[in-house]
Structure 1
């Protein structure tokens, strides 16, 4: 580096050290002429648009003056949250330097901004007076304020992000009560900044009257505690529109920790609130009737249980199921059915107390929740029963929908519970069980839950599990009961299913067949009976003593109408080479009620394959006699209920004789079941029935015992004397 005035040896030593300093430094005289610069200064000069090869001898003040004229960017532009006095404009820089040089001030510090090709930089200029050879000079240093630059950049990014996110920024001076809003605050509150300036009173008036007290409470609590201000409230804009606001702020304190400012934000969360409300509605209300749904019902029951424990009171659930509502949909259409449900929901809502919860579980099932019936159990029962009766009365009033009148009825199950109740789902289930009891006893009534109902359900569930295990463990066994002809002896057998439970022992069909049907397990169990029966027929066909026997197997409507039933039976007939007329399927009259056309088609198909059909329990059902001529039957079976009192009841004799005569006219065989006495057999002979089944001849037994009985009975047939006819009063009827 070169020097004009400093040529001494000492100056050269200082210059060597001076050159290594990292900050841009220049030494100027009191007139502003540059005497010496270091390397960092020369690099710093790259920010200047003037390319100067040699700085020595240039007037520092003059260069600043040229720069300020050449670049408009040297004037102050306040950044967000930076006041105008934080940055000194370039003309102030010149004036301050000139004044420092003139007055020989010891040191000055000036901050200024500089724009280099669109990028703004911030610097601090320091000027310190020094003496060299008894003459005053000034050491001028320029340091870039990187921290301030980053802060300003961060503030700029925040301002851009806030604008993009539509966040309103506000600054409240707690001493002067002055409030500063940015543009988005004005937009959120629907206020024109040119017409109305932000003020605390403006904000206070904008907050919804129902929310202002809570908002002010949150505001003052934040100031008093120094904690962040967080609040949600609604505002009413000038056009009357109501918007939801989320407000947040930070309290700024002075050196004595006294709050002086609050700087915060407002966000319009109206759409968020609407979405939350919609989500809540979907989660807690039935979309058709707008009634509370199961979830909201459970929430309210849960709250009530807490009060029940404290108040020792009783609550009640009323489970309502509309009777035969399916017919409303079937006869009309589902849209009409929906309108009926809506009208029904409105009616029961209007007829009940406001504190009750009316919930729709789904379909035509509803629940009424009485939160506090009474502290006395008897009074609680009385009040609940009164509510239920009132409901039944209102439900039966006609509903008029689209010029049509609908008269409904309902079955209502009730459970009463107090402080000991805990499981809400169990309570709902209890009311539902009571409702099903009403259904079973004729509908359109009420019933209270009885713990025995639950005990039966538990037992039933256990039985279902046991039945599944029974199939796996092959616990079912076929028993055979002989069917006897007065002239031919044993002519066949009926298969009767028995269940040998590992703990309960022998279980009879009435105790498990209904549950097999309900669970669908009757299909695999029934198929196994058919399989074993056909295997047995194949064995008998190869034995001279048994080849004449037929085998009757009971088939339910569920089995007969199952899609694979016909093919399965045909497969068995083929696999085990069953001769025509050997396999007899026994059906009940209830099958004819299920689906008569499908039933007839299936029976005809199997009859063409040599399968016989017997109509079991004839006369006990409600089927029409006209179906008899369409069914491919080969036998009618007189039910044991007519045989039981045959010797004492003339009506049973008349009915039995009618069945025999009907079978004869239709060219059908007839057999009587439940024959337990010789006298009953004699009466049956007199009315023309010669085939029997019952304990008088043979109790159901395992196959070995049945075959043993058959051999013995048939071998002894011709040694017996002919039956003597009993005297029967209505033989001629």
Structure 2
């Protein structure tokens, strides 16, 4: 029997993971050096300790199950087990074992095979010459031991001496290599079956006998090519008498597994190298230290200047690239995922050396390991382009494309937040509603490009007028809103601050604008409303500021007004009128009255059609009570169309009677109605459908129309003039028309405004203006109509200075058609230069 010293000497030199333990309690008696290397333990940590306590088995019951199977068959093969090394590395092993009686007690001889594919077991059995020359009993015992090892580890051994024919092959080696006993004589070391490429290495090892591990391939008689691992060593003796010893192990399956693993790793590397990101695996050990186990090669594309190898060596090296504002949140997100074992997802920024900012998105799945360690596998990708696209979408959704200011949508969101804040506190904010005066005229005259340039400069000046925390938004068109938040808790003090900012804005917006080689002035009208917890909605707040802005315009423009609750009553009144106007259109509550137009003999030559509203409760209303509201609401368009049609139908009725067949019909046309793209077609369609005589229709326009696009105005007038429709310029002298425009217009009449006629006998200025208009009309070959003639003196004054046509209460008020003096058209409406104002 081999004693303990001999066993230890033999066991320690075995380069395979072999252990010997007592069957009764599993306490280790001895282990090979390779077993210690594979498991990571020291010899002192193993000897005298049971396999259960050492962690080789999860429990005593599991060891008992395996031991029962071993006792039943005497041998175990291919049992798959897992084991965690002291450094927390997980080993996947194959356990092969057999029972052996030693020193009168049953023991378990075990062989561990590493299945991880990272490093296969090295096998080499070295024996000394003394052991080989030991007694036959001891030699047989050793051979029995090696035969047990051969069965467990798919290996064989050989010995040879210096004498011819001294080569001895073990039974396992015959079986492994597929050799017959008589084949060895012809080929003493089997080199004829070694693949040609591997023969030189084999012969070199055979010559040196230095015990180095050798890998080579063997042609099995059945045609298979085996992958072998061997070791040849000179044990002891002199040149004349020496003993050689060698071991051979079939590692074909391991090699196949290794090659398959390499193929898979190569395949994975190919995939990961083409992925738009970095694949990683990171572990946090029980002490909380992080280390990358794997990082795919495109790492430097995601983390510029840092290679995958550098990340594996130092997991914290990438933090230097992280944006300083994001580092803390990044660390917290990773720790939370690892602590809670929940999926990790996080967006964060890198700040590169050139100042460029790059957005990354990381995600991973953590899983627990033994002894408190956590492993996380994941992926990091560059989402910079997506972030830029999102910012662009947000810019388009919430910011004005022309000025870059917050748009209406974002403004409403911020006002809603301000309202919620005001509801929770006593803080008061101010909202300034800003409208540019006469912007449309500038836009139509100089073009939209210049108008856009003005809006951009106004936006910049507004931003320069307020605090960085305040909001400047473009509501649309030439309307801007400024929100001054948290100005205080007392209304008087807040009002003073808001007024101060308002005056600053007025001053800044009044400076000259350099616009495409034009030096222009533009002024704003500003309305201010206070935002406090008394305000119930954003809509109410903006309406208040809008009302104050219109009050500013009414006060002469280029000024500022604060919202007064009394304005709300006017708003309610206008809202009611607007609603009733719409109902009036549906219910046909409109009627036309006609005011005579007479010549110098006071004979009626035509009429002006004037609309009236037959209100169901308030009675007959004149245009002064509803026309402005109709203009603002847009109802002037259908109303003007109705008036035009009714007037033309009246012309058709008069055409049937010789006495009225030549009466002219003047119809007022608003600027908004005239600017409508389909205005000309609508007029021509009414004339065609009613059959009215176009030469008797006179359209009266005001001077406010002439400040818009003159070319468009002239073009429309010329088209209608070609259809024999004539034009009169109403309220002449009160507007903005210039003589250069006037001479270009295809006009037929000028109408002296009644404001100049009223005091023509007592005011020398009005008299001079009236005389000038009459002289101008004669010079331009235009007939002049004097409006608002109420006294014989006015009539005579104007007639003496060449006026040929008159209109006013002296000759008749506006009345329904039935009350017109149509039966006595040949008679003057005023006799002997005198007449009634009735």
The bucket for the TM-score relative to the shorter chain is: 0.5 to 0.7
Q: Secondary structure at the match of 1:698?
A: coil
Q: Comparing 429-438 with 496-505, which one deviates more in the overlay?
A: 429-438
Q: Could you tell me whether the CA contact under 8 Å between 2:604 and 2:828 is conserved in 1? A: no
Residue 315 (structure 1) shift: 0.5
CA 1:263–1:298: 2 relative to 1, 3 Å: farther
Aligned to 1:252: 368
For 1:172, the equivalent position in structure 2 comes to: 284
Q: Distance in 1 between matches of 2:321 and 2:611?
A: 82
* Structure 1 residues 492 and 391, CA gap change in structure 2 (3 angstroms): closer
Counterpart selection for 2:667 from 553, 556, 563: 553
Residue 421 of structure 1, aligned match among 531, 535, 550: 535
Matches within 5 A, 1:12-27: none
522-531 vs 196-205, greater mean Cα deviation: 196-205
Q: Please tell me whether Structure 1 or Structure 2 has the larger radius of gyration of its CA atoms.
A: 2
Q: Give distance in 2, aligned partners of 1:721 and 1:343.
A: 64
1:381 is aligned to 495
Q: Which residue of 2 aligns with 1:262?
A: 374
- Asked if residue 183 in structure 1 is aligned to residue 295 in structure 2, the reply is yes
1:357 corresponds to: 471
Name the residue aligned to 1:710.
Answer: 822
1:379 Cα deviation after fit: 0.7
**Structure 1 position 424, deviation (Å):** 2.9
Q: Provide the residue aligned with 2:583 in structure 1.
A: 469
1:498 to partner: Cα distance: 1.1
- List alignment gaps of at least 5 residues for structure 2: 1-72, 118-151, 153-260
Evaluate the alpha carbon distance shift between residue 614 and residue 372 of structure 1 in structure 2; reply closer, same or farther with a 3 A threshold.
Answer: closer
Partner of 1:508: 622
Deviation at residue 312 of structure 1 after TM alignment: 0.3
Structure 2 equivalent of residue 86 of structure 1: 92
Distance 1:563 1:280 in 2: 35
Between the aligned partners of 1:517 and 1:194, the Cα distance in structure 2 is 76
| Secondary structure, aligned partner of 2:467 | coil
- 1:271 is aligned to 383
CA contact (8 A) 1:245 1:266 kept: no
Partners in 1 of 2:347 and 2:754 — Cα distance?
79
| Corresponding position of 1:722 | 832
Alignment check: 8 A CA contact 2:774 2:801 kept: yes
Q: Does 1:493 align with 2:607?
A: yes
1:503-652 to 2 correspondence within 5 Å? 503-559=617-673, 565=679, 569=683, 578=692, 582-594=696-708, 603=717, 606=720, 611-625=725-739, 635-646=749-760, 648-649=762-763, 651-652=765-766
Preserved CA contact (<8 Å) 2:783 2:804: no
CA drift at 1:377: 0.7
**Residues 544 and 223 (structure 1), Cα distance of their counterparts in 2 relative to 1, 3 Å cut:** closer
TM superposition shift of 1:268: 2.6
2:337–2:343: 8 Å Cα contact kept in structure 1? yes
C-alpha distance in 2, partners of 1:239/1:631?
A: 65
- The C-alpha deviation readout for 1:510-566, integer Å capped at 9, x for no partner, is 333344445554444333333322322232232355345333333344555656555
**Offset, 1:503:** 4.3
Q: CA RMSD in A?
A: 5.5
Where do residues 192-231 of structure 1 align in structure 2 (5 Å cutoff)? 192=307, 194=309, 197=312, 210-215=325-330, 217=332
Partner of 1:445: 559
Confirm or deny: 8 A CA contact 2:344 2:362 kept in the other structure: no
1:311-350 matched pairs, under 5 angstroms: 311-321=425-435, 348-349=462-463
Q: Which ranges of structure 1 fall in alignment gaps of 5 or more residues? A: 1-59, 69-73, 116-126, 128-151, 726-733
The answer to whether the Cα contact below 8 Å between 1:292 and 1:359 also exists between their aligned partners in 2 is yes
How far apart in 1 are the matches of 2:642 and 2:565? 37
Against the structure 1 CA distance between its residues 581 and 447, is the aligned structure 2 distance closer, same or farther, given a 3 Å change threshold? same
User: What is the CA-CA distance between 1:579 and the residue it aligns to?
Assistant: 5.4
The correspondence of residues 399-418 of structure 1 with structure 2, limited to 5 A, is 409-418=523-532
Question: 1:501 Cα shift?
Answer: 3.1
Shift of 1:677: 4.0
Contact persistence 1:325–1:364 (CA under 8 A): yes
Alignment CA distance shift 1:368-1:542 (3 Å): closer
Residue 333 to residue 208, structure 1, CA distance change in 2 (3 Å): same
For residues 239 and 664 of structure 1, the distance between their equivalents in structure 2, rounded to whole angstroms, comes to: 78
Show the counterpart of 2:507: 393
Rounded to whole Å, the distance in 1 between the matches of 2:624 and 2:557 is 25
Match of 2:504, SS state, is helix
Distance of aligned partners of 1:689 and 1:415 in 2 relative to their CA distance in 1, 3 Å threshold: same
CA distance in 1, matches of 2:402, 2:536: 30
- The within-5 A match list for 1:134-149 is none
Question: How far did residue 499 of structure 1 move?
Answer: 1.7
Q: Is the aligned partner of 1:304 residue 2:418?
A: yes
CA deviation after TM superposition for structure 1 residue 497, in Å: 0.9
Q: Which residue of 1 aligns with 2:809?
A: 695
Please give the per-residue CA displacement for 1:237-284, whole angstroms capped at 9, x wherever unaligned.
999987645455546388xxxx82323245435416734555545544
| Distance (whole Å) between structure 2 residues aligned to residue 626 and residue 337 of structure 1 | 25
Q: In the alignment, is the contact (CA less than 8 A) between 1:672 and 1:691 conserved in 2?
A: yes
Asked whether the 8 Å contact 2:785–2:804 carries over to 1, the reply is yes
Q: CA deviation at 1:472?
A: 3.0
2:419–2:531 contact (8 Å) kept in structure 1: no
Q: CA deviation at 1:376?
A: 0.9
CA contact (8 A) 2:433 2:549 kept: yes
The Cα offsets for residues 437-495 of structure 1, whole Å up to 9 and x where unpaired, read as: 44555544333233455554554455444434333322221112233456464443221
Cα pair 1:284 1:293 within 8 Å, conserved: yes
Sort the Cα spacing of 1:169 and 1:407 in 2 relative to 1 into closer, same or farther, 3 A: farther
Alpha-carbon distance in structure 2 between the residues aligned to 1:358 and 1:351: 10
Alpha-carbon distance in 1 for matches of 2:715, 2:333? 79
Tell me, yes or no, if structure 1 residue 483 matches structure 2 residue 597: yes
Alpha carbons of 1:285 and 1:168: their partners in 2 closer, same or farther (altered >3 Å)? farther
* In 2, Cα distance between equivalents of 1:570 and 1:443: 39
Q: 2:789 corresponds to which residue? A: 675
Q: Please state how far the C-alpha of 1:374 moved relative to its aligned partner.
A: 1.3
Equivalents in 2 of 1:690, 1:515: separation in Å? 35
Any idea what SS the aligned residue of 1:704 has?
helix
Question: What CA distance in whole angstroms lies between the structure 2 residues aligned with 1:416 and 1:296?
Answer: 19
- Asked if 1 retains the 8 angstrom alpha-carbon contact of 2:427 and 2:532, the reply is yes
Q: 1:573 to 1:224 in 2, by over 3 A?
A: closer
